Amino acid sequence: MGERYESAKAIYAKFGIDTDAAIETLKKVPVAVHCWQADDVTGFDNDGPLTGGIQTTGDYPGKATNPDQMFEDLDKAFSLMPGLKKVNVHASYAIFEEDGFVDRDKLEPRHFKRWVEFAKKHGIGLDFNPTFFSHPMMKDGLTLSSPDKEVRDFWINHGKACIRISQYFAEETGIPCVMNIWTGDGFKDVPGDRMGPRMRYKESIEEILSEPYDFNKVKPCVESKVFGIGAEAYTVGSAEFTLSMAAMHKDKCMPLMDNGHYHPTEVVSDKIPALLCFFPELALHVTRGIRWDSDHVLILDDETKEIAQEIVRNDALGRVYIALDYFDASINRISALVTGFRSMQKALLNALCTPNAYFKELQDTNQMSRKMVAMEDAKMLPLGDVWAEYCEQCGVPACGYYDDIEKYEKDVLLKR
Ligand code: RNT
Ligand code: ZN
């Protein structure tokens, strides 16, 4: 334990904060790392373009183009991340090596065996996502809400297959699997019927959720969105739609909020405590939108800090499933994975080292001026020294990790 940590610990203690306890708590909070940052959301099951209203920009060299490279990159990224991970897998990352290709409606647990092996090697859990995009059965921009029954049935069967795979993940790892339902279904221009697609979407999701699963192990959730690229006028799975969906099926699914998916002045940090009043559990995609749902790499910005604060100060670390969701193809992808994960961890550590009980007391006794001053003072506490101690205990560098990534780029990525 360094001198700087000793001194920081004493400073925090004056504010009633036990930094050792904060470090121990943080070590147990899982944050799901999204595999799709490693290959620009390409996946292993198709050669087509990325569709569904999302886009990656940039052509930085060295992206993972097969399972071996994916696992190699995730191993490298993990070696620079302190704390507890999960891996978030999309159905498009099925691995067919042994038995040949099957379409998404026919996927089976065996197609994800290597993901389970990877998780077991690291002693971590897996999250899962049906992939309702980058596929020819997305017809006229629609999947589960299509007016064509054949299209809907294909995607319903995909959703059901994904429930079975999620159950397999949970059983194999012993850790619950969050399974997120997101579709880019929507229209570029003003629709002539807004409710029809939503009724079909509702019925399709209900059918997917009729597949048997243990809700203690499989945690389906529904993610909302305000708009997508090419679907600017209307999104079927809007905020009100998905929230109502989750509320009506509280015994078998949860809401998922992606902080890139709201109007620019709305903040997910404020929505977390609102939902915690009603939902036992909820899920997040933490990202960084710039002007719109741009999925930039997470950094330690104000909203990331505030999201972490709302989880911690409401004692909800056990009720909120935290996952990352961004994709930047213009920079080194290992640096994107590592930096985003570390930013979330820093935000959580910051929250755990904040005198929130004191702020609450000041608010409840209407000492608002003192609260403002105290909150500003807290921003100057020596968090960096606590972070350095945490990283040391986790066996990763506290900063300056890019040299290591650059070496990996030279030795591995640029040789691909
Ligand atoms: C898209 C959603 C969705 C995807 C992933 C790949 O806007 O945020 O979560 O990013 O499923
Ligand atoms: Zn998302």
For 215-239, how does the pLDDT look when each residue is reduced to its tens digit (9 = 90+)?
A: 999 999 999 999 999 999 999 999 9
- DSSP letter assigned to residue 59: -
DSSP structure string for 291-349:
SEEEEEPP-S-HHHHHHHHHHHHTT-TTTEEEEE----SSS-HHHHHHHHHHHHHHHHH
The yes-or-no answer on residue 387 being catalytic is no
For 263-277, how does the pLDDT look when each residue is reduced to its tens digit (9 = 90+)?
A: 999 999 999 999 999
**SS3 of 187-247:** ECCCCCCCHHHHHHHHHHHHHHCCCCCCCCCEEEEEECCCCECCECCEECCCHHHHHHHHH
The yes-or-no answer on residue 410 being catalytic is no
- DSSP letter assigned to residue 398: S
User: What mean pLDDT is reported for the chain?
Assistant: 97
Q: Closest Cα to atom 7, ligand 1: which residue?
A: 54
Q: Report how far ligand 2's centroid is from the alpha carbon of 48 (Å).
A: 21
All structural domains of the chain: 30-352 (3.20.20.150)
Q: What is the pLDDT, as a whole number, of residue 307?
A: 98
Across the range 361-379, mean pLDDT stands at 98
Q: What is the pLDDT, as a whole number, of residue 98?
A: 67
Across the range 300-311, mean pLDDT stands at 98
Cβ–ligand 1 distance for 288 under 6 Å, the answer no
Q: Report how far ligand 2's centroid is from the alpha carbon of 26 (Å).
A: 23
If you count them, how many residues does the chain have?
416
Is the C-alpha dihedral spanning 67, 73, 77, 78 positive or negative? positive
Q: Report how far ligand 1's centroid is from the alpha carbon of 223 (Å).
A: 8
Q: Residues of the chain with pLDDT > 70: what percent?
A: 100
Question: Which range is least confidently modeled, 43-57, 109-123, 311-325?
Answer: 43-57
Cβ–Cβ contacts within 10 Å for residue 99, how many? Answer: 9
Among residues 127, 258, 385, 409, the one annotated as catalytic is 258
Given a cut of 90, is residue 408 above it in pLDDT? Answer: yes
Cβ–ligand 1 distance for 325 under 6 Å, the answer yes
β-bridge mates for residue 186, sequence order: 235
The yes-or-no answer on residue 302 being catalytic is no
Given a cut of 80, is residue 17 above it in pLDDT? Answer: yes
Q: How many CA atoms lie within 13 A of 5 on its CB side?
A: 15
Q: Report how far ligand 2's centroid is from the alpha carbon of 261 (Å).
A: 8
The percent of the chain in helix, strand and coil, each rounded to the nearest 5, is 45, 15, 40
Given a cut of 80, is residue 48 above it in pLDDT? Answer: yes
Closest CA to 209 of 243, 164, 256: 164
Cβ–ligand 1 distance for 54 under 6 Å, the answer yes
Across the range 35-57, mean pLDDT stands at 95
Cβ–ligand 1 distance for 225 under 6 Å, the answer yes
Ligand nearest to the CA of 89: 1
Q: What is the pLDDT, as a whole number, of residue 97?
A: 78
Across the range 287-310, mean pLDDT stands at 96
Q: What is the pLDDT, as a whole number, of residue 292?
A: 86
Across the range 282-311, mean pLDDT stands at 96
Q: Residues of the chain with pLDDT > 90: what percent?
A: 98
